Amino acid sequence: MRAIWKGSISFGLVNIPVSLQTASKTEELKFKLLRSSDLSPVNYKRVAQVDGKEVPWNEIVKGYEYEKDKFVVLKDEDFQRVDLEATDTIDIVDFVELSQINPIFFYKPYYLEPQKGGAAAYKLLRQVLQDTKKVGISKVIIKKRQHLAAVKANGNLLVLELMRFSDELVPASAIKVASEKKPGAREVAMAKTLVNQMSEDWDPDRYTDEYRSALMKLIDKKVASGGKELPAEGHKPKRATNVIDLAAVLQQRLADAAKPKKAAKAKPRARPKAA
């Protein structure tokens, strides 16, 4: 893979040359907007709100709306005045126990690949982070933006996971939760039993994007039909129900979970197509 950033991990007097590699990918299906009459792709235009006229790139500036419909324009030299020094260093400022960090702070992982001369120190840092169950809290500048990030041990690799600054999160106090009576001991015991019955060892391959797969099958059918409308299928959306007696619901769920599962029917093999 092509590195998106090259630099080093730095803490104390230690310097480990690394490169940043993408560790996630987006599997969203992308659609284009088309004109219905002839399926011609529709392009986006930069149009001014005041008169609906298209605006060329050389007439566009960046502005910050400090009050409703009031803007201050920022030019390239303004950004340069506050631009942080674009270092090529992942500067670890603290080591923190991973268990102390709310997972809501993490949002995007990258693999850290050791570069020439850095393998020994790379392995040492990874081992220490594994043994201590800690992460290195750092700041790094990627594409002219400063990020909070954590250097983590992940198997035989180090991972840099970008984090949100605290002021980027909506305070939990902003979410109102209705006061309810404390769950009864019987309900708690049954809920724990259900959780234990449904518990499995973590296997990420067990979980797939069923919506995307179903959508791709539908697309394949439409392509095969020449773009014709497909017959409607009678799918009824599941509706939420008001749970009145939680204990009764849990008891029923436990009874269902205890029933032996029926063996899945073997799918008939597709017949070979005639030549």
Q: How confident is the model at residue 240, as a pLDDT? A: 53
Average pLDDT in the chain: 82
pLDDT range class, residue 151, cuts 50, 70, 90: very high
Q: How confident is the model at residue 238, as a pLDDT? A: 59
pLDDT at 192 over 60: yes
Identity of the residue numbered 180: E
pLDDT at 255 over 80: no
Q: Which residue has the higher pLDDT, 72 or 79?
A: 72
CA distance 273 to 245: 55
Q: In angstroms, what CA-CA distances link 246 with 11, 178, 241, 255?
A: 52, 17, 12, 14
Q: How confident is the model at residue 122, as a pLDDT? A: 94
Nearest residue to 71 via CA among 60, 80, 82, 81: 60
Query: Residues 204-217: what's their mean pLDDT?
Result: 81
CATH topology of domain 5-26+83-168: Ku70; Chain: A; Domain 2 (2.40.290)
Query: Residues 135-163: what's their mean pLDDT?
Result: 92
CA distance 213 to 50: 43
Identity of the residue numbered 135: V
Cross-strand pairs, 145? 142
Q: How confident is the model at residue 145, as a pLDDT? A: 81
Q: How confident is the model at residue 15, as a pLDDT? A: 86
Judge if pTM exceeds 0.75.
no
Nearest residue to 154 via CA among 131, 125, 130: 130
pLDDT digits (tens, 9 = 90+) for 21-62: 888 776 667 888 888 888 898 888 889 989 989 999 899 999
Q: Which residue has the higher pLDDT, 4 or 113?
A: 113
Q: How confident is the model at residue 247, as a pLDDT? A: 66
Q: How confident is the model at residue 27, as a pLDDT? A: 66
